[in-house]
Amino acid sequence: MITLFLSLLLSPAMAAGAASDKPKTTLNPANLQLASVSAMVVDADSGEVLYQKYADIVKPIASLTKVMTAMVVLDSKQSLREVIRFSQADRKAINNYFSRIRVDSELPRGEVLRLALMSSENLAAASLGRNYPGGMSAFVAKMNAKAKALGMKNSHFVDSSGLSHHNVSTAADMAKLIAAAAKYPVIAEYSTTATHTANFRRPSYRLAYVNTNQLVRYKRWDVGMSKTGYLNEAGRCLVMKAEVDGKSLLFVMLDSFGKTSPIGDAGRIKRWLASGKGGNVASSAQLYQKQKVAEYLAERATASIR
């Protein structure tokens, strides 16, 4: 079922139905333990779902929201060279959440977009939404329209930064989003920029940034698109497109316990694909998952009664 709804977004290779000369390795999902509550792994070329775990649970996605933000900005054809100003209204939009960017300073839109994607800069994401024709309300409307067009039936957006826990989706919907976003060369480049120094104007100052996904700096990983996210309500999240043993794969890991858990899960998935064995996760992460799954199932049961 889930494989079918990805078919329109993935590579034309799926339509060709070309079969690999290599025999398929039988993978047992029971042998893969992840710290993420919800997860999905998809072959980006064939559309085959290699692994899924509670992929239809609707949950907060935190800064993964910025992937949709980037798509809406690029779809609008607004100039990436146009200089935009960070305002007090942007600060208000993120509830005065911490940012090193100074109010009233300026930066080209392309640079603002890069910071939003690679370092998850919330003020940058807010500024992108405010500087959209019609402002933030029009921007959010476009986000939801884009989600609908991509077939993301269980997703909803309320802001451009992801700071609100009302930005929600599922692992299955996020796989659709990554498949589409990875086709934008700008998103692929900006989201995998390892380090970057931004040169602001009025006043003139420089700030250095590092990608929030450390895997983009690891030689043993070939990451083609990436985004991390975190909120208390969302847990640690990571989505990415990466080449693994000659295959282009979409990774979705939502609601992990522990700062490095999504990175660990990516490694466990990679190991499982190669050997059929995924390794173990910490007992604290296992307990966290049990509690979260119980909460989600209880909510679903209550909703069905209503």
> Annotated active-site positions, please?
63, 66, 120
Helices 109-118/65-75 angle, 10° precision: 160
Residue indicated by tokens 């933000």: 69
Q: Are 62 and 230 in contact (CB under 8 A)?
A: yes
Please name the residues in contact with 81: beta carbons below 8 A apart, sequence gap of 6 or more: 108, 109, 110
Q: How many CB atoms lie within 10 A of CB 77?
A: 7
Q: CA 240: distance to chain centroid?
A: 7
Please report the DSSP string for 9-53 in residue order.
TS-THHHHTPPPSSPPPP--GGG---SEEEEEEEETTT--EEEEE
Tell me the C-alpha distance between 249 and 47, whole Å.
9
Please name the residues in contact with 154: beta carbons below 8 A apart, sequence gap of 6 or more: 56, 58, 168, 169, 170, 172, 173
Q: Which two tokens stand for residue 57?
A: 């649970």
DSSP 8-state symbol, 102: P
Q: Calculate ∠ Cα 202-203-208, nearest 5°.
A: 110
Tell me the C-alpha distance between 123 and 94, whole Å.
7
Q: How many CB atoms lie within 10 A of CB 208?
A: 10
Return the biggest CA–CA distance within the chain: 60
